[in-house]
Homo-oligomer: A and B are copies of this chain.
Amino acid sequence: MDIRQQRKLDHIRQALALDDGPLSNGFNDVRLLHDALPTVDFRAVDLSVPWMGKRLTMPLLINAITGGTSLVTEINRRLARLAARNGVAVAVGSQAAALRDPRLRDSYRVMRDENPDGVVFANVNPNTPAEKALEAVNMLEADGLQVHLNPAQELAMAEGDRDFRHWSGNIAELVRHCPVPLIVKEVGAGISMETAKRLLDLGVRCIDVGGAGGTNFVAIELRRQGQSIPAFESWGIPTAASLAETVWTVESRQPSGDKATVIASGGIRDGWEAAKALSMGASLVGIAGAPLKGLLGGSPGAFSPSGNAEGDKAAQGWIDSFRHALQVNLALTGSSRVADLRNRPCLLTGALRDWLDLRGVPAAFWARRSGEE
């Protein structure tokens, strides 16, 4: 097993061993408001959302995790089945390995084979040339292409690629040539207002904020080297702040019809937090750590790539709770569809509000709207 394949397993092991944080994802500072007089029928609450002609049963994306060695094929198979069974979107991990070595394609391709009608996203790094990116999309008959931005991880990783000069230019290229929606995503350090603006200027139409508060790739990489640097591990923009900054950038620069899409991710762990993210303006909620820990047992010692039936049950149970929580949140805010959440008051309080004040983002935008007008 070469170092890259070993790294895949290390990432999973460390991700299972580490807790979320140390930064909070910020959703503790977000509150939805109870509607004592909802006008909905709970059984008729509709969680489904569209994606490019397909339909998800709810706005959940099992975010990019793995691929690139046969040792993780089983994991991807089980993630694919979970996604297929529940009608949610799913992404593969970085396909760089398969683009280099065609023998590794199966570990990704299983995602589509097990989930032929579902929404599946391809995943490449920002240095990937357009034709290679197309190859990644075709490999999966993908419904979208994720480009991950992970500079903090690259700097924390001993063997990281630390030359970021060509990322911007290459993303502009990918925008021009990608036949499916391009999703630019962080992996746990977040997108700022300034970065969001630049991405929109490059033509990007979908941003996954990938904020801090959940899976922590700086910590993962440092642990792999037997290190710990608290200040480095606290780097990044908490997800709720990053989401507010990104949504506000889109709102203030694209006030009219055709707005860019925002995906919320980074430490979101249940339907209660997801409902807050959707109310703040996300179209989809991406989660990697929670289903992964469900599937593989949570305790790193117990980790076995082939998994076990209990893991599948735990992951399914997690999704069932997630869906139920979302339904309850819709009903209790008087929303019959997911989009209604965006017209409900949403309070961004405490440290999050101070952050937004400093940045010139008006918290009143979320706090005072109502579905009435």
A151 in contact with B195 (CB, 8 Å) = no
For this complex, 17 residue pairs linking A to B, each with C-beta atoms less than 8 Å apart, are: A34-B189, A34-B236, A35-B194, A35-B195, A36-B192, A36-B195, A37-B151, A37-B199, A39-B165, A39-B167, A162-B331, A231-B270, A231-B325, A347-B355, A358-B364, A360-B364, A360-B368
* 9-residue interface stretch from A40-48, A85-93, A96-104: A40-48
One of B165, B171, B192, B354 near A345 (C-beta < 8 A) = B192
Q: Hey, which chain B residues are within 8 Å of A349, CB to CB? A: 351, 354-355, 358
Q: Hey, which chain B residues are within 8 Å of A151, CB to CB? A: 35-38, 331-332
A152 to chain B, nearest CB (A): 6
B328 in contact with A189 (CB, 8 Å) = no
Known: A34-B152, A41-B163. 18 other contacts (CB 8 A): A35-B194, A36-B149, A37-B149, A37-B167, A37-B195, A37-B198, A37-B199, A39-B164, A42-B163, A155-B328, A192-B345, A194-B345, A198-B372, A231-B325, A232-B325, A232-B328, A345-B359, A360-B364
Q: How far is the CA of A149 from the CA of B332 in the complex (A)?
A: 12
Task: Report A296-353 residues with CB < 8 Å from chain B CB.
Answer: 325, 328, 331-332, 345, 347-351, 353
Q: How far is the CA of A364 from the CA of B191 in the complex (A)?
A: 19
Q: Hey, which chain B residues are within 8 Å of A108, CB to CB? A: none
B332 in contact with A152 (CB, 8 Å) = yes
A332 to chain B, nearest CB (A): 6
Q: Which 5 residue pairs across A and B have the least CB separation, nearest first? A: A42-B162, A231-B272, A358-B367, A36-B149, A41-B163
Which of chain B's residues has its CB closest to A346's CB?
A: B358
Q: Hey, which chain B residues are within 8 Å of A345, CB to CB? A: 192, 194, 359
* Interface size class of chain A, counting residues whose CB lies under 8 Å from the partner chain: 35 or more
Q: How far is the CA of A198 from the CA of B165 in the complex (A)?
A: 45
Contact with B along A205-223 (1 / 0, CB 8 A): 0000010000000000000
Q: Hey, which chain B residues are within 8 Å of A155, CB to CB? A: 42, 328, 331-332
Q: Hey, which chain B residues are within 8 Å of A328, CB to CB? A: 155, 232
Which of chain B's residues has its CB closest to A37's CB?
A: B195
Q: Hey, which chain B residues are within 8 Å of A354, CB to CB? A: 349-350, 353
Copies in the complex: 4
Q: Hey, which chain B residues are within 8 Å of A232, CB to CB? A: 272, 325, 328
Q: How far is the CA of A231 from the CA of B269 in the complex (A)?
A: 11
Q: Is residue A190 contacting chain B, with contact meaning CB distance below 8 A?
A: yes
Which of A36, A190, A232: most chain B Cβ within 10 A?
A36
A350 in contact with B353 (CB, 8 Å) = no
Task: Report A6-63 residues with CB < 8 Å from chain B CB.
Answer: 33-43
A350 in contact with B350 (CB, 8 Å) = no
Q: Is residue A72 contacting chain B, with contact meaning CB distance below 8 A?
A: no
Q: How far is the CA of A354 from the CA of B351 in the complex (A)?
A: 11
Q: Hey, which chain B residues are within 8 Å of A332, CB to CB? A: 151-152, 155, 189, 235
Q: Is residue A228 contacting chain B, with contact meaning CB distance below 8 A?
A: no
Q: Hey, which chain B residues are within 8 Å of A171, CB to CB? A: 37
Q: Hey, which chain B residues are within 8 Å of A270, CB to CB? A: 231
Q: Is residue A83 contacting chain B, with contact meaning CB distance below 8 A?
A: no
A368 in contact with B359 (CB, 8 Å) = yes
